[in-house]
Copies of this chain bind each other. A is one copy, B any other.
Amino acid sequence: MKPPRTEISTIGEFGLIERIKSGVKTIHASTVLGIDDDAAIIATGTTYTLLSTDMLLEGIHFDLSYMPLQHLGYKSISVNVSDIAAMNGIPRQVTVNLGLSNRFSVEAVDAFYDGIFRACREYKVDLIGGDTTASSSGLVISVSILGEVEKEKVVRRKTAKLNDIICVTGDLGAAYIGLQVLEREKQEFLVNPDMQPQLKGYDYLVGRQLRPEARMDIIYELGELNIVPSSMIDVSDGLASDLMHICKQSGLGANIFEDKLPYDHLTLKTAMEFKLDVITAVMNGGEDYELLFTISQENFDKVKNHRDIHFIGYMQEAEKGINLVTRGDQAIPVTAQGWTHFDPKK
């Protein structure tokens, strides 16, 4: 008798995480929060220690034909720092596990760590360990990060309140459109290897894809303004998916407004060039590593003139749903695609 076989694609990444979570029973009093947010929370002394981890695999998360190793090193730290930022924490220490196949030289490893060290300086984190091993297939990167936050300042996804204002930093969709530019150049290079890549004019988009920054600047500024967001997440899967996490975990709905969504002029221009809808890129593109958070209405005055925080909507009753209100004043229900790495066709 053949054992039953259920394809992972039928339950998806989030289904898989729910399945794993359902088996977890934590026993230590110091485990304040397990699998449920951007980082786990551990009670250590007078503050909370935050722990998060992210894996980047060649062929899934990056393509070395256009990803320089320095940038890859930098990005592997940024995306982890971003998880600590999303808890309103300060990053402190990282470990880097690296699986290398034989095609990597010592110089290639140096280039990768050059990016790691740059990011460590930028975000003021200490590299304190890791495991370096051979890999029989592609490049494997797994980073874990420790952060710290005062107990009363930790910010969860599940604590947004009715009528809170939904804020997002920076601009969205650029990393996704940047990826399209890189993919096009790769295809043209495969056809004509003598051609030089035509990335001029697209630097901003390509940079957003290859070397994203975690928004620690915003965390420090909110701290100075004495604002603790009521909920927060980083935009890694896409605005739609990440907003849904906040709504579902907070037991609320939300309205966000198309005409408030922030995107760069170049994102719009290039999306049009690729015949892509810029709003789709903003909603579902992902990898922006901006911060999506909610604040109470009384905090609005403190940040209303901030150059880089955009007010895109408000939290509402769960029954009213999660909607994108278009320029034509139509409310379209938001559905998250997020990343569907577990594609049965692959």
Contacts and interface: CB of A to CB of B under 8 A. Distances in A.
Nearest to A90: B28
A186 to B, nearest CB: 16
Contacts of A342: 100, 102, 134
A131 B40 CA distance: 12
Interface string A1-29: 00111111111010011011001101110
Contacts of A134: 57, 60, 341-343, 346
A35 B129 contact: yes
Contacts of A10: 106
A346 B23 contact: no
Given A26-B128, A128-B42, A135-B60, A97 B142 contact: yes
A34 to B, nearest CB: 4
A190 B169 CA distance: 57
Assembly stoichiometry (copies): 2
Interface in A41-85: 42, 44-47, 49, 51-55, 57-61
B40 A129 contact: yes
B100 A19 contact: no
A49 B44 CA distance: 8
A136 to B, nearest CB: 3
A132 B93 contact: no
Interface string A331-345: 000000000011110
A45 B45 contact: yes
Contacts of A59: 136-137
Given A19-B109, A124-B27, A53 B131 contact: yes
A102 B4 CA distance: 15
Interface of A: 3-11, 13, 16-17, 19-20, 23-24, 26-28, 30-31, 33-35, 39-40, 42, 44-47, 49, 51-55, 57-61, 92-93, 95, 97, 99-100, 102, 104-107, 109-110, 113, 117, 124, 126-138, 140, 142, 144, 146, 148, 341-344, 346
Given A20-B113, A99-B140, 15 more contacts: A5-B105, A7-B105, A8-B106, A17-B132, A20-B109, A20-B130, A20-B132, A34-B127, A42-B93, A42-B128, A51-B128, A53-B97, A55-B97, A57-B133, A136-B138
